[in-house]
């Protein structure tokens, strides 16, 4: 989550669609994105994968533009396009010369309401999704372990369901499921338009009114009803064994507050904690496990702060050949206990804060990254002001708040540990 970007503007059309304009004058190009406040965590019960499946189907054509027309136009304009689905949002984007912005808006506004689906279109695409799942998860032991860990951490909340869905539920999805989901979520009042590039705010808003503004409002935003996870009370261990595993590994995933659910200052403290604990070769975990004790060949940590509900804090390590996963996990626990009971060195804290803010500033060289930061924030309940204030929030983190964050949230009872081992190891 970055900050310090220039003159970001935020407006809302009469039909409820939000507009964020991010000026970037370095090249005469624009990144045009439409975000919908729905993701895999909003899939109806028994219909896992429908958000991701609909993302595929959104490229199949409308009553006005046949299948492939939008993609062909983007290619003819020398542009690029793609889309992605996450747990909390789905987004569609194109990048092209700035003079083509109206064309991009016209096509995207059309598929907000005009999607046409038939069994002849839907059924083969469902097979494509099933094959995607087979390639990415069913043949990859690491991906299977990650899926099992998430499902164990979130036994009640839909974050425990994979974005792509479960195989047996994907197989049952049809065009009626897709159209029902489309009608519920693909509405202007549930959408956010992000335009980053060589544009003026007034011009973008005018084009948006003339394209997206013609899409009728459905009224109030759709309600996102999600079952919430009970307070974790017991540490859980998930082990996956497979002969294809060449390198054992261990991970621990904690349930922690997100930027949206946390009390003031807590998410920023978790962000700094993750960087201090496992943000590269100078981190505390790396120094302790790889350099000093030489029981791991790699180790790290990551905080997944942008989420609508309670989120995840990851810690991972890869042991040396003569180190067991149990020993590695115990060493990780020692390091985390140290973070929760002692104050981090003041110089290390300043370096972590400086690096986090600098990385955000440097990343702003990528126009698409700028658009993604703001889109993800707004789609998960944050504001433009929250994003812009992020550097100040990071710099306000103290050694005490880092210690307190570790003590409050990196508790073993809040975590699921995952061990990935070889088939031979399990048999022994």
In the residue annotation, 55 being an active-site residue is answered as: yes
CB 70 within 8 A of CB 77: no
State the DSSP string of 129-196.
Answer: HHHHHIIIIIT-HHHHHHHHHHHHH-SSSGGGS-TT--HHHHTT--HHHHHHHHHHH-SGGGEEEEEE
H helices of 235-317, where? 266-278, 284-285
Catalytic one among 55, 108, 189, 310? 55
What whole-number distance in Å separates Cα of residue 13 and Cα of residue 188? 9
User: Distance of CA 417 to CAs 209, 315, 317, 326, 328, Å?
Assistant: 50, 9, 11, 10, 12
- 253-263: b (≥16 Cβ within 10 Å) or e: bbbbbbbbbbe
Q: What are phi and psi of 311, to 5 degrees?
A: -120, -160
Q: What SS3 state is found at 82? A: strand
What whole-number distance in Å separates Cα of residue 153 and Cα of residue 161? 10
What whole-number distance in Å separates Cα of residue 21 and Cα of residue 250? 42
From the CB of residue 381, how many other CB atoms can be counted at a distance below 10 Å? 18
CB 22 within 8 A of CB 374: yes
Catalytic residues: 55
């Amino acid at each position: 989550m970055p900050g310090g970007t220039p003159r970001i503007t935020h407006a809302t059309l009469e039909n409820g669609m939000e507009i964020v304009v991010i000026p970037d004058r370095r090249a005469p190009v624009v990144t045009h994105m439409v975000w919908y406040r729905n993701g895999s965590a909003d899939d109806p019960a028994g219909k896992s994968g429908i958000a991701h499946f609909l993302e595929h189907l959104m490229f199949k054509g409308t009553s006005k533009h046949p299948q492939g027309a939008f993609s062909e136009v983007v290619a003819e304009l020398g542009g690029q396009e793609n889309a992605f689905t996450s747990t909390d949002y789905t987004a569609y984007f194109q990048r092209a010369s700035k003079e083509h912005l109206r064309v991009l808006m016209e096509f995207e506004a059309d598929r907000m309401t005009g999607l046409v689906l038939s069994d002849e279109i839907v059924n083969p695409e469902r097979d494509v999704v099933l094959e995607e799942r087979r390639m990415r998860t069913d043949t990859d032991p690491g991906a299977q372990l990650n899926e099992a860990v998430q499902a164990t951490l979130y036994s009640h909340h839909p974050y425990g369901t994979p974005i792509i869905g479960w195989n047996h539920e994907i197989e049952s999805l049809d065009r009626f499921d897709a159209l029902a989901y489309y009608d519920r979520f693909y509405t202007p009042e549930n959408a956010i338009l992000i335009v980053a590039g060589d544009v003026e705010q007034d011009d973008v808003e005018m084009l948006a009114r003339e394209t997206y503004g013609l899409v009728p409002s459905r009224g109030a935003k759709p309600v996102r009803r999600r079952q919430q996870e009970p307070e974790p009370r017991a540490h859980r261990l998930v082990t996956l064994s497979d002969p294809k595993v060449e390198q054992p590994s261990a991970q621990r995933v904690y349930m922690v507050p997100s930027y949206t659910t946390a009390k003031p200052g807590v998410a920023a403290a978790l962000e700094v904690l993750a960087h201090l604990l496992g943000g590269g070769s100078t981190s505390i975990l790396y120094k302790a496990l790889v350099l000093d004790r030489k029981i791991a060949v790699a180790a790290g940590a990551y905080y997944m702060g942008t989420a609508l509900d309670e989120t995840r804090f990851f810690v991972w390590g890869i042991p040396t050949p003569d180190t067991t996963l149990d020993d590695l996990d115990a060493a990780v626990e020692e390091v985390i206990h140290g973070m929760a009971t002692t104050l981090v060195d003041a110089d290390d804290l300043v370096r972590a804060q400086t690096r986090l803010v600098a990385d955000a500033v440097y990343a702003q060289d990528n126009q698409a990254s700028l658009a993604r930061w703001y889109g993800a924030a707004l789609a998960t309940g944050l504001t433009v002001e929250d994003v812009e204030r992020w550097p100040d929030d990071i710099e306000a983190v103290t050694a005490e708040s880092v210690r307190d964050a570790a003590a409050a949230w990196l508790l073993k009872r809040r975590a699921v540990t995952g061990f990935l081992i070889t088939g031979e190891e399990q048999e022994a």
